[in-house]
Amino acid sequence: MTAPLASDFVFDLPFSARSNHKLIHYILPAMTILQLFYPDQGRDRNSLRLEADETIKLHYDPRPRGRLERHLAKVFRGAGYIALTSFCRYVPAGSSYHYAGTLPMRREPQTLYETHSDGRLHGTNTVHVADAATFPELPSKNLTLTIMANALRIGDLIRSHLR
């Protein structure tokens, strides 16, 4: 049985930090998390560009949210649950989940759905994959920096071939 982390909610409750911590001890095991993933599509105002100093500039106007969350909270309350939209969290642009193994990296790829060590999709010459999809598996710990390092490594290899 699992539950959310106490640190995710302790400061959202209306009492002192000490009282909230005590309250969380009793209510946390009964809490459930619902994750919503909104579809999105490109918009003219959104952009991503590489600056002259090689930093990445991201401009993203998120769509307004909250209507669906209020509706779901009402449905859950109608079913006897306590649902609080004040606990809703919206991750910033660029945050994501990492799925591994969808295009695993192999020393000698055999199918179109495997990649070479340089991130190149097997059977292609110019398609490179530079995210966690190339990892055959991921541990339960966050590997964001490892994923970023691998993407940088693959980007450097591509850049060296382009020169």
Domain segments of the chain as ranges: 6-87, 96-163
DSSP strand pairing (47-50 vs 56-59): antiparallel
Candidate from 11-20, 64-73, 104-113, 148-157 with smallest mean pLDDT: 11-20
DSSP state of 7: G
Highest mean pLDDT among 44-53, 79-88, 113-122: 113-122
Alpha-carbon distance values, 48 to 94, 147, 157 (Å): 11, 19, 22
pLDDT tens for 49-88 read: 888 887 878 888 877 788 999 999 999 999 998 888 877 8
The yes-or-no verdict on residue 96 having pLDDT over 90 is: no
pLDDT reported for residue 1: 38
pLDDT reported for residue 13: 79
Residues in Cβ contact with 75 at an 8 Å cutoff, skipping those fewer than 6 apart: none
